[in-house]
Structures are given as structure tokens and as C-alpha cells.
Amino acid sequence: MPALLEIEGLTSGYGPVAVLHEVGLRVEAGETVCVLGANGAGKSTLVNTIAGILRPRAGHVRLDGEDVSGLKPEALARKGLSLVRQGRSVFPFMTVEENLDMGGWLMADRARLAERREAIFSMFPVLKERRNQMAGAMSGGEQKMLEIGRSLVVPLKLLMLDEPSLGLSPKMRDLIFARIRDFNRSGLAVLLVEQNAFEALAISSRAYVLELGRIGLEGSSAELMSDRRVREHYLGA
């Protein structure tokens, strides 16, 4: 049976510059997989290519056994794949509730949309408290919760997160990682790109290390946690 996500021989980049070189990885249904790597290793290029923001130059992206290489983000969203990109992407002059409704643009059933919105409020209670507040007036951590919640309004097979803890306070970072654990327990597959290597390995089952656009290491998270190179370069040990 094919993996939920299979990447094979993926080469991608910007303009004439190739950043990824024949990358391969997989994510099984209900699994959390993390991708580690230094700045410039190609982590964001990887998830942007999978999500259809960048077109691959070579290789294949398969979702549930279907080749979806080069499909646009909206087509991939319809197939159950979503990416929460690095940085901030809320609609700042819209309320929290309006931002969540924007995440449900694929849903024709308004009652179902309201139901999904309430599920997000249960997941992130602070969003319910601020449902009528302008999103741009919230803290960075609260905006990140909103971005993740917005991506979950439409039922997903795979959620990709690009540096979700970047710039967050330790308290907010812990809350975000706790929610990722909850996603995994509920059966949602997660592909996590993260520089906080210790936390990423702690909540994932398997991991890959990107080095200059190529997979340098891969294995179970426990194996990589104890690998000397990972400990020296990413865990500060």
C-alpha cells in the first residue's frame, strides 16, 4: 500500500538556481515526520514545492498514490493537503472568525463550516475569546494559532508546517507543539519543518536531515536524536 505522501527524485528551485537535488521522502497516514536542516538547506523550498507554490523541475510528488506533481495549491487543497507557511499570513484587517471562514472557501455547506469553526475554537480557546478581534492586533503566537486553525477548517489528509515555532515565546511554542501532538493522535498526518530540532524530534516518529538540498540523514526520530552528527549540529550537545 502506498504511503500517504511519497516524494521521489524531487528537484526544484528558483529561476536558474536548483535548491533541491533528487530528494526523496515519505509520510505514512497518521504519521508525524520532521525535516531538519540549517538555514539555506532547502527546507522551505521542499514544502513549497510539495504544496504547489513552486513547480518541480524533476521528480514526483504522490498523494495517496496519485501523482500530484505541479498541481496548483487550490487543487491540492481539494485533495486534502495544506501548508502553513513560515512567517505571518493572517488577514490583518479581518476578524478571527472571518479569517477562519476564509479557510473554508471550499465548503459550500455553511452549517458544516460553522461546525468546523467551533471545532477550531475548541482546539484553540484563545481564538474563541478573540473571535471578533482584528487578527492583526493579536500576538505572534495567537496569529500562528489562527493560521493553523484556518488550515484545518477543511478536513485534511496532510498538514505541512514550515517553522511554526519561529519567533514565538516558550509558552506559545510549547502550546503549538502540544497541538501538533494532538493532530497526530487524531490521525492527521503532519510534515513538520522546524529548526527547534529537539522539540521536532520529540513529537515525530521519523525524521530527515536536509544538507545543501539533499537528504543527508534519515531514520526514526529516536535514532537521529542519538546520532552524533545530529547532536553536535542541531541539538547543541
pTM score > 0.85 for this model?
A: yes
The residue behind cell 530527515 is: 208
Which stretch of DSSP H or E encloses residue 44? helix 43-50
- Using an 8 Å Cβ cutoff, are 18 and 187 in contact? no
Domain assignments of the chain as residue spans, ordered by start? 5-89+157-233
What is the CATH code for 5-89+157-233? 3.40.50.300
DSSP 8-state code for residue 53: S
Three-class DSSP labels, 74-87: HHHHHCCEEEECCC
DSSP 8-state code for residue 195: S
> Would you write out the chain's pLDDT as a tens digit for each of its 237 residues?
789 999 999 999 998 899 999 999 999 999 999 999 988 999 999 999 999 999 999 999 999 999 999 999 999 999 999 999 988 889 999 999 999 999 887 777 778 888 999 999 999 999 999 999 999 999 999 999 999 999 999 889 999 999 999 988 999 999 999 999 998 889 999 999 998 899 999 999 999 999 999 999 999 999 999 988 888 887 765
CB within 8 Å of 113: residues ≥ 6 apart? 101, 104, 107, 153
Rounded Cα distance between 137 and 139, Å, is 7
